[in-house]
Amino acid sequence: MPERKTSHDDDSMNKWLQWDPIYCRQAAMLLSSLLWSISGFGLGETEPLEDFRLSANCPPSFEKTQSGRCKLHTLYDQYDSIQNHGVGGLHSSLPPRRDGFTPQQIDLGRYLFFDPLLSVDGSLSCASCHHPEKGLSDNRARSIGVAGVEVARSAPTLWNSAFMSRYLWDASAASLEEQVQGPLYDPLEMGNNPANLLATLNSNTVYRQLFQQAFDRQADAITLDQIYLVIAAFETSLISLNSRYDRYAHGHHQALNQQEIEGLNIFRSFVARCAECHQPPLFTNQQIAVIGTPEPEGMPLDIGAEKTFNSAALKGGFKVPSLRNIATTPPYMHSGRFDNLRETVEFYTNGRGHAVPKGVDMQLHWHIWEPELTSHELDLLVVFLQTLTDEAFMPKTPERVPSGLTPISHQ
């Protein structure tokens, strides 16, 4: 049977004695692999392939073209520009999107996304930190990976990834294919390495055949580019553009109640200025903005995009996050510093730069100022943000994944 590498060298064997959770988990994995091989219940060897037939249908809201590719359709396609309707206008169009993958590639990406086989010790999948029941995030201030310690930042949702021009809080990844190598190989996240990932997938008979189906080739070995591509394909299928807000924007005025409409109007007002950065319909203009949010107590200042672009003017700058499904992904901001939406929106009215540490030179964005919103107006903003929830196209968690491991899997 294919074996999963768990780096059981002598040194780490000794560490088992210290009851470090990661080594206990590796011990448990080793044991269960042994049991599998004894019972002949190997990873891939005896999993019947019929259980893993790739879907030939495009996900909802995608149409299959003559050449068998999935093309997205949304009601926003009827609006032609961002500029002609005013920033923050209901009829703003969407930015360019990534689509054109085949249904098979999207579905294979789904299996990989939910398969803990991608992590070095089989303990967690992408979905552990981008969980379907937690808004495709993990409801933690900072995520925890294979090493059992917190990573530097909070996990963002993956909804509408198809429209983003850059990824990560500090905008350091230019494509989904580039981004995915971060979690896969970061020792604090999934802890894998390219050689081991290729070896594990290539020694799994089911994955070999599924990749052959998805790329229409016989007998070739799985490549890294194919792995990155199918995961990207799956991510671009995560579309959320049919919230109550959207129905309102497309002309169904009853979709929002009076309070929600008041909240929307505050959001779009030149007093609050939220829509200048969180521009509809994605609720982000995809730019970097320095707004000066506080770090959690005891955490050093995160310089954010200063590092990415080697520019002191961007110290403390982060990519403006989309606010789609925002009610489902507490806590908030890059560091998960705010527990709920009320605290988060209140940040904007507590005074320009109030949370910037003394002596730090931060060049705050000009739309960050002193809107002096009342407590009632803050409540209405929260009420409005809750109308941006739409999880109707949440992908199905596979009942089983080709590795035989438990889909998603937790620490």
Residues forming contacts to ligand HEC in the complex (CB under 6 A) are: 118, 124, 126, 128-130, 143, 145, 151, 153-156, 158, 161, 164, 167-169, 176, 179-180, 183-184, 189-190, 231, 235, 272-274, 276-278, 289, 291, 293, 318, 320-321, 323, 326, 329, 332-334, 341, 344-345, 348, 365, 367-368, 381
Residue 46 or 223: the one with the smaller Cβ distance to ligand HEC is 223
* Shortest CB 300 distance to ligand HEC, Å: 14
* Shortest CB 50 distance to ligand HEC, Å: 26
* Shortest CB 256 distance to ligand HEC, Å: 16
* Shortest CB 151 distance to ligand HEC, Å: 5
How open is the CA angle 223-228-233, to the nearest 5 degrees?
125
Residue 54 or 233: the one with the smaller Cβ distance to ligand HEC is 233
How far is residue 44's CA from residue 205's CA, in Å, rounded to a whole number? Answer: 5
* CA separation, residue 249 to residues 243, 246, 253, 268 (Å): 10, 5, 8, 13
Cα end-to-end span (Å), the chain? 25
How far is residue 402's CA from residue 353's CA, in Å, rounded to a whole number? Answer: 50
For the record, the structure tokens of 332 come out as 């908030």
* Shortest CB 56 distance to ligand HEC, Å: 23
How far is residue 382's CA from residue 387's CA, in Å, rounded to a whole number? Answer: 9
For the record, the structure tokens of 306 come out as 């200063």
For the record, the structure tokens of 242 come out as 């049919």
* Shortest CB 316 distance to ligand HEC, Å: 7
Residue 59 or 321: the one with the smaller Cβ distance to ligand HEC is 321
Residue in this structure with the two tokens 């129905």, named with its chain if needed: 247
How far is residue 233's CA from residue 227's CA, in Å, rounded to a whole number? Answer: 10
* Shortest CB 184 distance to ligand HEC, Å: 5
Question: For residue 276, how many other CB atoms are within 10 A of its CB?
Answer: 19
Residue 206 or 323: the one with the smaller Cβ distance to ligand HEC is 323
Residue 12 burial (10 A CB sphere; 0-12, 13-18, 19+): middle
Residue 103 or 317: the one with the smaller Cβ distance to ligand HEC is 317
Instruction: Specify whether the CB–CB gap between 256 and 90 falls below 8 A.
Output: no
* Shortest CB 381 distance to ligand HEC, Å: 5
For the record, the structure tokens of 142 come out as 């900072």
How far is residue 318's CA from residue 324's CA, in Å, rounded to a whole number? Answer: 17
H or E segment to which residue 64 belongs? strand 62-64
Residue 251 or 351: the one with the smaller Cβ distance to ligand HEC is 351
What proportions of the chain, in percent to the nearest 5, are helix, strand and coil?
40, 5, 55
Amino acid at the residue 4: R
How open is the CA angle 34-36-39, to the nearest 5 degrees?
110
Residue 58 or 112: the one with the smaller Cβ distance to ligand HEC is 112
Residue 176 or 362: the one with the smaller Cβ distance to ligand HEC is 176
